[in-house]
Amino acid sequence: MMPRHNNVSGSGIIEGQPAASSPYTIAVNTNTYSAGAAVQVVINDNRNLGFKGILLQARNPGGSVPLGTWTNLPANTKALTCTAESDSVTHSNTNQKQSGTMFSWIAPNKNVGQVQFLATVAETRKTFWVKLVSDKTITYSSGCNLRMHGLYTAIASVIAMIVSM
């Protein structure tokens, strides 16, 4: 996730900024994912300046392989294929992207364990932060609990209707 930006003299690779100094955060809209479901991921900047470049992936904690796919991408970004089609997102140009830019990640069609979102965010060619980690690590949920809750609610409604007759 390290950009290959050469320094001005072309004599080497520019190093990223310390992650602790990053003004950028990665916010996730849920604590769980289910097979094939969408998860919203937002890149925020506490200075509200936005960013010019990005590489965004979903991975298992400590893992290196991108998971899932990205869809409905915002303007000035594009899908990238690292190990599977559309498993990463990057910038399509250096136009300014706004703080609060939202990305839609589609979970794999099976349980892949815990997932966190990592991003390299570039403010400029020389100022960037590598492997920023999302505010949440999400876990798989089969949705069974929600279905059972809905079933119990439906049964309770039918019983209440019968009793009131």
- Say if 4 falls within a structural domain: no
- Say if 1 falls within a structural domain: no
Contact between 121 and 129 (Cβ < 8 Å): yes
**How confident is the model over 14-35, as pLDDT tens digits?**
777 878 889 999 999 999 999 9
Average pLDDT, the chain: 87
- Say if 33 falls within a structural domain: yes
CATH number where 145 lies: 2.60.40.4060
Number of domains observed in the structure of the chain: 1
Q: How many CB atoms lie within 10 A of CB 64?
A: 11
**How confident is the model over 39-88, as pLDDT tens digits?**
999 999 999 999 999 999 999 999 999 999 999 999 999 999 999 999 99
Domain of residue 79: give its range: 19-163
